Amino acid sequence: MSSQLPPTGQELGLEESMLSAPSIGPKRILSIEGGGVRGVFSLRILLRMEELLRRKHGKDSMVLADHFHLISGTSVGAIIGTYLSYGWPVGEMLKLFKESLPIIFARAQWWKLHGAAYRRGPLREMLQKHFVEPNGGQALFGTRRLKTWLLVVLRNMSTGAAWPLLNHPEGKFAKLQEDGSSNLKIPLWQVVRASTAAPWFFPPERVTVAAGQTMEFVDGGITPHNNPSVISYLMATLPCFPLQWKKGVNNIQVVSVGTGRIRAKLGAFERGRLGRLRFLDHVPAALIESTSLAQDLTMRSWGRCIQGGVLDSELGHLSGKEAVGSDFLYCRYNTEWTTDEIDRACAVSGCKFALSSVKLAPWLESEGEKYADKHVRIEHFP
């Protein structure tokens, strides 16, 4: 990569208000969770949000990047979030997503598996096609074509660390390092592809971070930040990060969009025959689900929750009159599917309820539309 210094905020074309005093005006964060094909459910919620905001402001061409200052995403949430930050309308994103799913989740030939069930090529080609500069060159993570601050979560296999990447030019690792590296100089498509490289499903992404230095990255869901709401808020407010936004319900709003919750549980018959391999197969889903719920609980403890379902039978909602926090305004859109609902979805779709089950997309879209019509309200976006 070139050793040229990364651009300043002004060179990136970013608004001065986004770079200067964070106390000027309320700041809005949109956080989008990982979940494979279930991203269709999230997109229907986002579509409803965009429709309501367009109606409120009387702008038919308004996109979510016109409303939010920071968009964050992990795995499929990274795909959706980056396209939204790039200025895509949700309707176009939903159409692209549904058209691309059968291609992205097409099984690789056994001699081309490379330790993964699906090929890396189709998603890579889609991202490379869209994330380009006006001159046709590759858009980098520091591109001015992103209309918001963008946070994408990866896991660095080479160092064993979570990598939440923020496209702010004043970030510690956005600045030019002694080895010539800068996060802003990584191709944008590669950042997103790395965040979606779920083990077993897709091969890791090899990224050249500096001359002669290559690292391997996998899905950001293999970190505590598959639900990136907490890390988004921390990176927006902690003094070690460049945004340093002022806390308070009148200063920051966080909208967190999930992909639907499924309890990773086993019946008595399965538990009685739970060998080591079956147990290992059960653990990742259980950890991701539990961590996502813990992130939601943390956000409701810190912020004033104005929308959110039941956390559990003891905690309740911690929203509305039960809200306890005051650091920011918080809105959580997500649902929990019952065993009966999952059985019906599988019967209608003729497939398992898996992250890669493309045939579930129509059911997921229908569920997302019903959920959005019932729960997404314009008063959630003051």
CB 147 within 8 A of CB 87: yes
Per-residue pLDDT, 7: 42
Chain-centre distance of CA 64, in angstroms?
14
Query: Per the domain annotation, does 64 fall within a domain?
Result: yes
Specify the pLDDT at position 264: 56
Angle CA 191–219–298, to nearest 5:
105
pLDDT score for 120 = 67
Does 1 reside within a domain? Answer: no
What is the DSSP code string of 338-359? -HHHHHHHHHHHTS-S-TT-GG
**Residue 199 sits in a domain of what CATH number?**
3.40.1090.10
Residue 3 counted as domain residue: no
Report yes or no on 5 lying in a domain. no
CB atoms within 10 A of CB 321: 5
357/118 Cα distance (integer angstroms): 12
In a domain, 2, yes or no: no
Just list the catalytic residues. Answer: 75, 219
- β-pair type (205-210, 213-219): antiparallel
> What pLDDT does 339 receive?
85
**9 lies in some domain:** no
Q: Tokens for 318?
A: 């911690």
* Other residues' Cβ atoms within 10 Å of the Cβ of residue 173: 14
Show the domain range for 194: 27-264+278-380
Which residue type is seen at 286?
A
The pLDDT score that the predictor gives to residue 122 is 83
CB 209 within 8 A of CB 186: yes
Length of the chain in residues, anyone? 382
Integer Rg of the chain from CA: 20
Distance CA 31, CA 73 (A): 6
Q: What is the pLDDT of residue 72?
A: 98
What 8-state DSSP symbol labels residue 249? Answer: T
Q: How many domains does the chain have?
A: 1
Does 152 reside within a domain? yes
The pLDDT value recorded for residue 380 is 96
Residue type for position 113: L
Average pLDDT of adjacent 10-residue blocks, the chain of 382 residues: 38 40 72 94 98 97 97 96 97 94 68 55 89 94 96 93 95 87 94 85 81 86 94 97 96 96 61 53 72 94 95 89 92 93 90 84 96 97 92
Residue 13 within any structural domain of the chain: no
> Is residue 114 classed as helix, strand or coil in its secondary structure?
coil
